[in-house]
Amino acid sequence: LEQDGLLRPFDVSTVQWPAGYFLALCVAAPIKCGIPQLETILTATNHPSSHPIAIELGSGIGASSMALAMATLSLNSQVQHSGPAPLIIATDHSLQALALSTANVAANSLSEAIKIQRMDHFDMDQVRRLKESYFGDDSSGSDDEGFSLVLGSSLLSFFVDTNHPNAPLWQALDILLHNNSKPNKPPALALLVHAKVDPIHPPSDGSFRLVARISGDSVDMQTRSSASSDFELSIFERCSSSNDDDDDGSCRRRRAS
């Protein structure tokens, strides 16, 4: 993979950081990482070929999007590179990151499976326009259509104050993810990697629930001193009638209100 660093200047978005590496490992091998729900989504046959499956926020050099594309193509032989829509939309606001991810996607022969687009995930108008460009607008009052997966790693302030329902993270996920109301469609998931010392908390209104937390230890990640991994993957899904038994009661709080 092409990235900045060593003998040339770099910024945060143009280097493969440990959190992004962890996310790439997990989407490449969902079962090994402990995410069977992800493999269910990747092998589902009911994804319209005219719609992408996933979107990555702050994709940097594109490693996680490429790992997900390769896993999808490997698990489902019916999915083709040359479909009417890409499998994955990799987004970043940094022009340098977009240039690197474009080069990496091309070098790995994934240009037809992954589309690189500029987007600021803090700007909800941009987020909504991108989603509508693939799934249409919400003028019908239905949010059935949307991405099945949202990926993100070390998005810094995007992961701050997530207990608040109006935090940018939940606003973006509410726009992007399908509403998982169809019984033959696997629930949409958000896979978010962050430092263990800065956990992502579910919103207080119960609009999303925490499905699982997976330590970087699950893929043998360690610190430089061989200590336990500093990172974890948090998996979230929308609350719905199908998850009445959520452990933390967040979904029940929403229905009670």
pLDDT in tens, 189-216: 999 999 999 999 999 999 999 999 999 9
Q: Assign 64 to helix, strand or coil.
A: helix
Calculate mean pLDDT across residues 88-100.
92
Which sign does the torsion angle of CA 92, 94, 100, 103 carry? positive
Strand (E) or helix (H) holding 125? helix 124-135
Q: Record the tokens describing residue 233, joined without a space.
A: 């993957």
**pLDDT tens-digit map of 26-80:** 999 999 999 999 999 988 754 445 789 999 999 988 999 999 999 988 887 655 5
What pLDDT, on the 0 to 100 scale, is given for residue 101? 92
Q: Record the tokens describing residue 203, joined without a space.
A: 């919103």
Dist. CA 216–CA 21, nearest whole Å: 10
**pLDDT tens-digit map of 169-179:** 999 999 999 98
* Type of residue found at 202: P
| 193, 232 Cβ separation under 8 angstroms | yes
What pLDDT, on the 0 to 100 scale, is given for residue 156? 85
What pLDDT, on the 0 to 100 scale, is given for residue 149? 96
Q: How confident is the model at residue 139 (pLDDT cuts 50, 70, 90)?
A: low
> Over 70: is that where the pLDDT of 12 sits?
no
Dist. CA 40–CA 42, nearest whole Å: 6
Pick from 90-99, 137-146, 189-198: least confident: 137-146
What pLDDT, on the 0 to 100 scale, is given for residue 220? 81
Q: Record the tokens describing residue 161, joined without a space.
A: 């104050």
Most confident region among 76-85, 97-106, 116-125 by mean pLDDT: 116-125
Q: What is the DSSP string of 70-100?
A: HHHHHH-TT--TTSSS-SEEEEES-HHHHHH
**pLDDT tens-digit map of 212-253:** 999 998 888 776 666 788 899 999 999 975 555 455 546 755
> Over 90: is that where the pLDDT of 151 sits?
yes
State the DSSP code for 160: S
Dist. CA 235–CA 136, nearest whole Å: 26
Dist. CA 162–CA 124, nearest whole Å: 16
| 147, 54 Cβ separation under 8 angstroms | yes
> Over 50: is that where the pLDDT of 256 sits?
no
Q: Assign 253 to helix, strand or coil.
A: helix
Dist. CA 145–CA 51, nearest whole Å: 9
> Over 90: is that where the pLDDT of 141 sits?
no
Dist. CA 186–CA 198, nearest whole Å: 29
